[in-house]
Structure 1
């Protein structure tokens, strides 16, 4: 087994972290008009400097800005793409009294285009804060382009501007993403992760039925999305690792979807030309590891075996046993380890303490070192 010196690393993570109290307070002040956007950004800078050191201290080589400049992992990015309009999601109370985040409505109201460098300034600040000489890599997380189709389907995309989706809509979105990736690469970015809920949702029977009601075939969609993602990958700059994280919902320690990866596995792991996949496997909601048999040579699966939803700490023995189970279907050298999702996919954060967050990341790093070796 080999130690990885390029991303994804044997010990990696999805990206978001619990926001410090002073950052949340500053965001409230900005919302009330008590401070300016420039003043808020200075507070964000301070929080990002601290979270970078936090990641370095626990031994991570993949370093993000914790998504500290965002409210939601997807909306903040997508609403800055030309032709896209998003509505803020709302919290709904389910019959059993639990809370769930109703998905935002994302609509394509004009031709999709890249009108500004969305992540460039954020990446530049992140990169400037990483300590030199320790082999760390700045990772940028962005929502998957499939988010612009799945939630609204055909009805959510302007028929005036896109009478037919294929190829014009998919080409325009891919070009917008390609322009963003190129702007990041020119600034030195070599690691980008696309966060995708939609393929994970297509593993869930209820979500599959909802897709049918919108006029889509849930058996065909994964293969169409593979084509869609490959249009983006075709524009990936040389030297950049492009990964995808499949999320089953991560709002205040709740989830939105369940189901084995089997319905999407072939399209995801074999047809998509991505470099790596972060797959949630923290509990039995995700099913077994059999779908990993579709993983193409040269690709990496990062096993999300450590939950970010609850503070109870997994054991190294438990994680090693599950890694061995996964290795029955794919070579050990094609596996890495991470938490199953971010700790705060939205500004609200999961129901977990900062010290639990630290302990879980240390567990990932130490377990990976014992399984694959220490760099």
Structure 2
């Protein structure tokens, strides 16, 4: 079976990688005033070069910078949007769960207090450095949060009504700002852009919808608005730019925040979202069955996140192949691909796995893809 000519690839990954100890130490030294931002960037550069080599060595065709310059997968980007301010101590707590208990994480809040725009591509300089490192056969990928994440984190309460008197005006401006990002990063040579989104997966969880309803939000139709606005954000994207979306139910220190299959959003999401591929979390029973994939139309690629980034145990090749066969009952095998279910370090803390575990899981993804589809 032939390999897709462009992304997403048969063997792919979500993006974030474990931060090496020397990078974490450098960030602590910066906070203590022992080094400056220039010295930190040099340390980041060296760590990113190692990360790109790792991805090449295991056989991946996509390459990211591991998100090594970020504190979290989403908020660094969101705070860089003109018109959005960081508000310490005002974030909504996120309740994470794992086999050992619960973890509460309270990120800083955000406030939309000015007209929204992205005049220069966010992470543009970071992506340029990644481009300089990739070798033959590697495609550099930029990962950014979807526009939904700006709204899901704060809702209407985070929007200054003096700037945007209603949510329609806010959404129009936010999608326009994202179009600036998409056009700008494409002009820089990006051919692979991934939007990361927890909201569309969270909304499958009745408990999450109940929480939104208590806030006065339209929980039953929120996903439809998000789909429309992501489509508006990527409308008119240049030819040659592949756009994918990654859906996740939370990934913080090997913990998760939501559960439930894709059933609630599946028909609107798979049938209506204008992206080239879906990275879908499917590493355990919380993700539900493959049946919602029946709504995926021809031409869309589904990257099955069957290999967990949350635990060190290495999956069985036979089990992965069995699950790929099961998914192929709903989506043709030629439209499927394989990846870990999420990144290994969505925040600087990282998951409870080692660098060796990380490399073994990425290598496993490549090997299984080669055995199932003939190449990665």
**Alignment of 1:84 onto 2:84:** yes
1:116 positional shift: 3.4
1:235 positional shift: 3.6
**Alignment of 1:24 onto 2:20:** no
Summarize deviations over 1:181-213 as a string: whole Å, max 9, x none. 222111211001011010111011111101111
User: TM-score scaled to structure 1, two decimals?
Assistant: 0.95
| Equivalent position of 1:362 in the other structure | 363
Q: Determine helix, strand or coil for the equivalent of 2:196.
A: strand
1:121-136 mapped onto 2 (5 Å cutoff): 121-131=125-135, 133=136, 135-136=137-138
CA distance in 1, matches of 2:268, 2:280: 14
1:99 positional shift: 2.0
CA contact (8 A) 2:178 2:234 kept: no
| Equivalent position of 1:117 in the other structure | 121
User: TM-score scaled to structure 2, two decimals?
Assistant: 0.95
| Consecutive unaligned residues in structure 2, runs of 5 or more | none
Q: Determine helix, strand or coil for the equivalent of 2:185.
A: helix
Summarize deviations over 1:32-88 as a string: whole Å, max 9, x none. 111111110000000000000000000000100000000011111110101112346
Summarize deviations over 1:337-358 as a string: whole Å, max 9, x none. 0000000000000000110101
CA contact (8 A) 2:96 2:256 kept: no
| Equivalent position of 1:320 in the other structure | 321
1:241 positional shift: 0.5
CA contact (8 A) 2:73 2:145 kept: yes
1:129-278 mapped onto 2 (5 Å cutoff): 129-131=133-135, 133=136, 135-166=137-168, 168-278=169-279
CA contact (8 A) 1:9 1:62 kept: yes
Cα distance, 1:204–1:91 mapped onto 2, change above 3 Å: closer
Summarize deviations over 1:118-163 as a string: whole Å, max 9, x none. 11110110010111x3x21000000110011112222122222111
**Alignment of 1:66 onto 2:70:** no
CA distance in 1, matches of 2:94, 2:22: 24
CA distance in 2, matches of 1:221, 1:284: 25
CA distance in 2, matches of 1:114, 1:52: 27
CA distance in 1, matches of 2:266, 2:257: 19
| Consecutive unaligned residues in structure 1, runs of 5 or more | none
CA distance in 2, matches of 1:234, 1:91: 32
CA RMSD, 1 decimal:
1.7
Select 1:105's aligned residue among 102, 109, 116: 109
CA contact (8 A) 2:338 2:365 kept: yes
CA contact (8 A) 1:149 1:157 kept: no
**Alignment of 1:40 onto 2:40:** yes
Matched length: 371
1:93 positional shift: 9.4
CA contact (8 A) 1:219 1:263 kept: no
CA distance in 1, matches of 2:87, 2:252: 17
| Equivalent position of 1:330 in the other structure | 331
| Equivalent position of 2:344 in the other structure | 343
Q: Determine helix, strand or coil for the equivalent of 1:116.
A: coil
